[in-house]
């Protein structure tokens, strides 16, 4: 063979060299795809008249075969001027961009309701180093895409969070090879979440041509979200299937106002089954408080229609709750349980009653029960002719708590009712239904939004002057207790119920400043007063968030040394009393 053969002859004599060259260029093309997010297939650019927006067809990235030099050929997607909204970002014009690209024979990158998420590599490293939590999930790669989407669904149904792909179990950011196909797979997985969520995404370079993918969502919104027909929720650093009862509750909350329990028609009920006198009394209170336009000759039907308490001339269930004469047997939830217990436990009743009726009748029954069983301390002030009466609990705070229980409870559960328990040392009011949204008992003590579960019921109470619309009812309760010299009321949540607990003052003991007695010491004194005489275990059971036995012993010993308590008996029979 004379001279250097041509390429064809060269590869004919050396087939292995042909195979090596093909493999080399195949790797170069794959590198171009990873780097630019597109393929190496080139195409001629075509521009249509109009106004172009920021956008690049990633399928037009080309690779030059000479001297292994890669170049990027940009093909802007042209959007006609009439379809561009100058006040919106290109992401908000996605539908118009898709139509323009299809008309021009181009394609847009795989994306679905994604916005730009700004996060640095160092910021992501700090986030990942903290480990998984109730708002963070770490995945090694998109091979765990199904589990990641379940977690993303759980974040949507809770408080939001982020899923990060490309992180090892030891929280090292190892990244993964990310191509256009990878993004399409993620987009297809997100499409299985219903309703369609708002997802923020960022691909962050971590070295060696690998990237971490970060998906972030906000909680709340159109809950409950489902993935592949199943709802999930985030608990701690784990994701679990949502219980049916919780799913139904969230679904009912999401439904349109006309599908809420209070807006549904009361089957079998007529306007004649409502208390007309109570309706007119409510209107008179609303007119007197300038919360309703003056009405003098309007009929009961017209009044109910103005208050949105009629559905096709049939009373709504809210109307039954507010003004129903005899709710039983169709509405057993329109009831209240009242009990006075002896001591500080529920072992023995002094009085036990239950009433049925509309909301305002129940409010009056509870007020009368308070008057029967709550003592009123009286004293004569020098220079005055009248006595100064001081109730055991401030009436304003009790009324506010009771009205909140009636207005904001969940009436969809037929077997639930409002419960009031009076003990020697405390008073508790419980109503069925969890706190709405992301409210917690701790947030009720501070400024928080006013979220009303029953708008129609709460609106009538507002017009009569019982409540406000600013969500300050719980703060008013705390402020009233402070002015009365009592411990702050507690807001509790347990097993689907929300409660308020009031603590009675310690009789025979002068209220002292916090520098003299700690809050825990005052609790111990309250417990001993309610018991009369009690041992360490009995005292500990009455404390909030009971401390250890050893801690209670130390507090009692301090009070005994300070002369506020005295010891009775010896050994295991030892009891303690408050010094008068």
Flag whether pLDDT at 110 surpasses 60. no
Q: Under a CB-based contact definition with an 8 Å cutoff, are residues 189 and 145 in contact?
A: yes
Strand-pairing partners, residue 361, are none
43-74: pLDDT as tens digits: 333 333 333 333 333 333 333 333 333 333 33
Q: To the nearest 10°, report the CA torsion of 263, 266, 269, 272.
A: -20
The pLDDT score that the predictor gives to residue 516 is: 65
120-137: pLDDT as tens digits: 888 888 889 889 999 999
**For a pLDDT cut of 90, what percent of the chain falls above it?**
39
Give the count of alpha carbons within 13 A of 273, CB side only.
Answer: 20
CA–CA dist 175, 185 (Å, integer): 17
CB burial readout 350-374, b (16+ within 10 A) else e: eeeeebbbbbbbbbebbeebbeebb
The pLDDT score that the predictor gives to residue 434 is: 83
What structural domains does the chain harbor? 32-103 (no CATH), 114-254 (3.30.950.30), 260-505 (3.30.565.60), 519-578 (1.10.10.10)
CB burial readout 69-104, b (16+ within 10 A) else e: eeeeeebebbbeeeebeeeeeeeebbebbeebbeeb
The pLDDT score that the predictor gives to residue 61 is: 33
Confidence grade of residue 150 (pLDDT, cut at 50, 70, 90): very high
Q: Under a CB-based contact definition with an 8 Å cutoff, are residues 501 and 323 in contact?
A: no
CA–CA dist 424, 94 (Å, integer): 66
Confidence grade of residue 499 (pLDDT, cut at 50, 70, 90): very high
Confidence grade of residue 396 (pLDDT, cut at 50, 70, 90): very high
Flag whether pLDDT at 28 surpasses 80. no
CA–CA dist 432, 415 (Å, integer): 10
Transcribe 112-173 into DSSP letters: SSEEE----HHHHHHHHHT--BTTEEEESSGGGHHHHHHHHHHHHTTTEEEEEESB-TTS-B
Give the pair of three-digit tokens for residue 279.
């309706």
CA–CA dist 455, 448 (Å, integer): 17
Confidence grade of residue 472 (pLDDT, cut at 50, 70, 90): confident
The pLDDT score that the predictor gives to residue 79 is: 38
Q: Which of 28-37, 121-130, 243-252 has the lowest mean pLDDT?
A: 28-37
Q: Name which of 318, 317, 247, 254 is nearest 282 in CA terms.
A: 318
The answer, yes or no, to whether the previous bond of 39 is cis (omega within 30 of 0) is no
Flag whether pLDDT at 525 surpasses 90. no
CA–CA dist 375, 390 (Å, integer): 9
Strand-pairing partners, residue 340, are 351, 422
Q: Under a CB-based contact definition with an 8 Å cutoff, are residues 394 and 427 in contact?
A: no
CA–CA dist 199, 163 (Å, integer): 11
Give the pair of three-digit tokens for residue 557.
């010993």
Of 482 and 105, the structure prediction assigns the larger pLDDT to 482
288-347: pLDDT as tens digits: 888 888 665 688 999 999 899 998 889 999 999 999 999 988 999 999 999 999 988 898
Confidence grade of residue 119 (pLDDT, cut at 50, 70, 90): confident
The pLDDT score that the predictor gives to residue 412 is: 87
Flag whether pLDDT at 7 surpasses 80. no
The pLDDT score that the predictor gives to residue 104 is: 46
Give the count of alpha carbons within 13 A of 154, CB side only.
Answer: 25
CA–CA dist 413, 404 (Å, integer): 17
| CA dihedral (470, 471, 473, 474) positive or negative | negative
Q: Under a CB-based contact definition with an 8 Å cutoff, are residues 175 and 212 in contact?
A: yes
Confidence grade of residue 378 (pLDDT, cut at 50, 70, 90): low
Transcribe 180-236 into DSSP letters: HHHHHHHHHHHTTEESPP-EEEEEEEEETTEEEEEEEEES-SSPPPEETTEEEEEET
Mean pLDDT computed over 88-107: 45
Confidence grade of residue 440 (pLDDT, cut at 50, 70, 90): confident
Mean pLDDT, the chain, whole residue set: 78
Confidence grade of residue 278 (pLDDT, cut at 50, 70, 90): very high
**For a pLDDT cut of 70, what percent of the chain falls above it?**
74
Q: Name which of 390, 433, 402 is nearest 338 in CA terms.
A: 402
**Which DSSP state fits 37?**
S
Q: Name which of 132, 128, 131 is nearest 119 in CA terms.
A: 128
What does residue 430 show for φ and ψ, rounded to 5 degrees? Answer: -125, 140
């Amino acid at each position: 063979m004379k001279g250097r053969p041509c390429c064809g002859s060269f590869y004919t004599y050396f087939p292995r060299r042909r195979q090596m060259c093909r493999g080399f260029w195949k790797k170069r093309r794959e590198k171009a795809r990873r780097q630019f997010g597109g393929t190496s297939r080139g195409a001629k650019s075509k521009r249509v008249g109009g106004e172009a927006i920021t956008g690049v067809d990633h399928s037009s990235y080309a690779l030059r075969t000479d001297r292994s030099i890669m170049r990027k050929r940009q093909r802007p997607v042209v959007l006609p001027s009439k379809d561009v909204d100058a006040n919106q970002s290109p992401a908000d014009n996605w539908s118009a961009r898709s139509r323009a690209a299809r008309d021009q024979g181009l394609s847009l990158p795989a994306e679905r309701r994604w916005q730009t998420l700004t996060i640095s590599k160092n910021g992501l490293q700090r986030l990942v180093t903290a480990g998984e939590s109730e708002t963070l999930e770490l995945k090694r790669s998109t091979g765990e895409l199904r589990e990641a989407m379940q977690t993303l669904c759980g974040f949507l149904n809770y408080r939001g969070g982020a899923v990060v792909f490309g992180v090892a179990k030891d929280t090292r950011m190892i990244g993964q090879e990310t191509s256009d196909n990878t993004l399409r797979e993620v987009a297809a997985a997100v499409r299985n979440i219903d309703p369609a969520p708002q997802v923020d995404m960022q691909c962050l370079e971590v070295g060696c041509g690998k990237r971490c993918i970060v998906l972030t969502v906000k909680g709340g919104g159109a809950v409950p979200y489902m993935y592949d027909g199943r709802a999930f929720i985030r608990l701690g650093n784990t994701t679990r299937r949502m219980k049916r009862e919780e799913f139904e509750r969230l679904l009912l909350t999401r439904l349109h106002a006309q599908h809420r329990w209070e807006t549904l028609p009361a089957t079998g009920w007529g306007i004649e089954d409502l208390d007309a006198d109570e309706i007119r009394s409510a209107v008179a209170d609303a007119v007197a408080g300038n919360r309703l336009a003056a009405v003098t000759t309007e009929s009961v039907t017209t009044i109910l229609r103005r208050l949105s308490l009629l559905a096709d001339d049939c009373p709504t269930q809210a109307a039954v709750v507010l003004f129903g004469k005899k709710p039983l047997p169709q509405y057993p939830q329109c009831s209240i349980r009242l009990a006075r217990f002896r001591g500080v436990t529920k072992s023995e009743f002094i009085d036990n009653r239950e009433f049925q009726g509309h909301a305002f009748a129940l409010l009056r029954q509870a007020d009368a029960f308070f008057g029967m069983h709550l003592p009123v301390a009286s004293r004569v002030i020098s220079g005055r002719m009248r006595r100064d009466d001081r109730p055991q609990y401030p009436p304003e705070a009790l009324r506010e708590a009771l009205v909140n229980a009636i207005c904001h409870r969940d009436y969809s559960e037929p077997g639930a009712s409002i419960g009031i328990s009076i003990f020697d040392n405390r008073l508790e009011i419980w109503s069925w239904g969890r706190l709405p949204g992301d409210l917690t008992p701790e947030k009720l003590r501070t400024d928080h939004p006013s979220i009303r579960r029953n708008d129609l019921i709460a609106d009538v109470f507002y017009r009569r002057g019982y409540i406000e619309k600013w969500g300050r009812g719980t703060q008013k309760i705390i402020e009233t207790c402070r002015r009365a010299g009592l411990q702050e009321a507690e807001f509790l949540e347990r097993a689907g119920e929300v409660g308020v607990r009031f603590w009675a003052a310690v009789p025979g003991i002068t209220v002292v400043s916090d520098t003299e007695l700690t809050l825990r010491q005052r609790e111990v004194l309250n417990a001993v007063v309610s018991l009369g005489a009690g041992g360490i275990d009995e005292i500990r059971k009455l404390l909030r968030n009971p401390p250890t036995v050893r801690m209670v012993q130390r507090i009692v010993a301090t009070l005994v040394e300070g002369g506020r308590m005295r010891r009775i008996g010896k050994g295991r029979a030892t009891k303690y009393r408050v010094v008068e």
